[in-house]
């Protein structure tokens, strides 16, 4: 195993990560289970563009949480198999299944870092898989990428979104500046990076008010995409969604958290080659 990969596959943190998410799953789902601006404006539109028409498809929803995007795919006509390491999340996802989608949604407690458990879901069963804002929360990702070529059909796709590792790395400092000239006051925003290439596990807060921090796992692009390349997957599409400009007066808060020129999200589609 190469050095960068060994530093990222944090087997020692898998159980702690599970415990953290199990403890706060219901609180988290209460907060954003029905969506927020970040999901509705950045994550979900990009994901839907990359997955394309899923009517009649069987899709694996990796680290599905409370099942929000799985329900969306079911509404679009897919049969969705949602998995998550957290029993609390799976219980909440099952509770949220609408009666009219019951035949299109199924949920299982499965650790996506357990290759053998993934293989038990079915060989060449899935037309595609998604991982929505999840890979950066997972201590170990290599077994998932190892299993994907076996559980996806030839030509099957894997679409994932996560915080953009180039702009949301540990130690990043966001700044905003206001400059006055003859045309008025202009506000600009940017990020200052102190480190990027070194994989790193660190703790942070995803939603203000959460009682306990959780782990983030920073992986530079060569490590993140390398997990797919090592297992024969190819990238055939990606997006870097950013907030659309508005006519609202800019404030320091808006330019920090709703930047229009710096993408906070990276959306990638990888595919199992045919033949």
Tokens of 231: 């297992």
Q: Look up the domain containing 87 and give its range.
A: 3-164+219-247+263-271
pLDDT band at residue 175 using 50, 70 and 90 as cut-offs: confident
Q: Is residue 107 part of a domain?
A: yes
Lowest average pLDDT, out of 71-80, 150-159, 249-258, 264-273, goes to 249-258
CA–CA separation, 156 and 270 (whole Å): 9
C-beta separation of 81 from 60 below 8 A: yes
Lowest average pLDDT, out of 38-52, 55-69, 134-148, 174-188, goes to 174-188
**Mean of pLDDT values over 107-122:** 98
pLDDT band at residue 169 using 50, 70 and 90 as cut-offs: confident
The torsion angles phi and psi of 161, rounded to 5 degrees, stand at -125, 150
pLDDT of 38: 92
CATH number of 63's domain: 3.40.50.150
**Mean of pLDDT values over 41-50:** 97
pLDDT at 212 over 90: no
C-beta separation of 223 from 5 below 8 A: yes
Q: What percent of the chain has pLDDT over 70?
A: 93
Helix or strand or coil: residue 270?
A: strand
pLDDT at 238 over 80: yes
Number of domains, the chain = 1
The torsion angles phi and psi of 40, rounded to 5 degrees, stand at -70, -30
CA–CA separation, 242 and 264 (whole Å): 7
How do 200-204 and 184-192 pair as beta strands? unpaired
Q: Is residue 113 part of a domain?
A: yes
Q: pLDDT tens digits, residue range 54-68?
A: 999 999 999 999 999
């Amino acid at each position: 195993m190469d050095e960068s990969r060994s530093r990222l596959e944090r087997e020692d943190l898998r159980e702690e990560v599970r415990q953290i998410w199990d403890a706060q799953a219901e609180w988290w789902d209460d907060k954003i289970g029905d969506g927020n601006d970040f999901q509705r404006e950045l994550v979900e539109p990009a994901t839907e563009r990359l997955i394309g028409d899923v009517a009649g498809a069987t899709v694996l929803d990796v680290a599905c949480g409370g099942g929000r995007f799985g329900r969306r795919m079911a509404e679009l006509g897919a049969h969705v198999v949602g998995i998550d390491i957290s029993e609390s999340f799976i219980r909440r996802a099952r509770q949220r299944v609408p009666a009219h989608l019951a035949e299109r949604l199924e949920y299982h407690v499965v650790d996506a870092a357990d290759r053998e458990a993934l293989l038990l879901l079915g060989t060449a069963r899935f037309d595609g898989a998604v991982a929505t804002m999840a890979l950066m929360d997972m201590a170990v990702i290599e077994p998932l990428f190892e299993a994907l070529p076996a559980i996806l059909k030839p030509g099957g796709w894997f679409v994932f979104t996560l915080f953009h590792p180039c702009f949301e790395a540990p130690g990043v400092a966001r700044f905003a500046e206001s400059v006055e000239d003859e045309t008025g006051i202009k506000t600009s925003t940017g990020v200052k990076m102190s480190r990027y290439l070194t994989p790193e596990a660190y703790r942070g807060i995803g939603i203000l008010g959460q009682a306990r921090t959780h782990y983030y796992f920073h992986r530079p692009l060569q490590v993140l995409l390398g997990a797919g390349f090592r297992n024969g997957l190819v990238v055939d599409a990606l997006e870097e969604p950013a907030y659309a400009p508005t006519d609202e007066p800019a404030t320091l808060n808006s330019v920090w958290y709703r930047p229009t020129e710096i993408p906070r999200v990276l959306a990638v589609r990888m595919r199992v080659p045919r033949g």
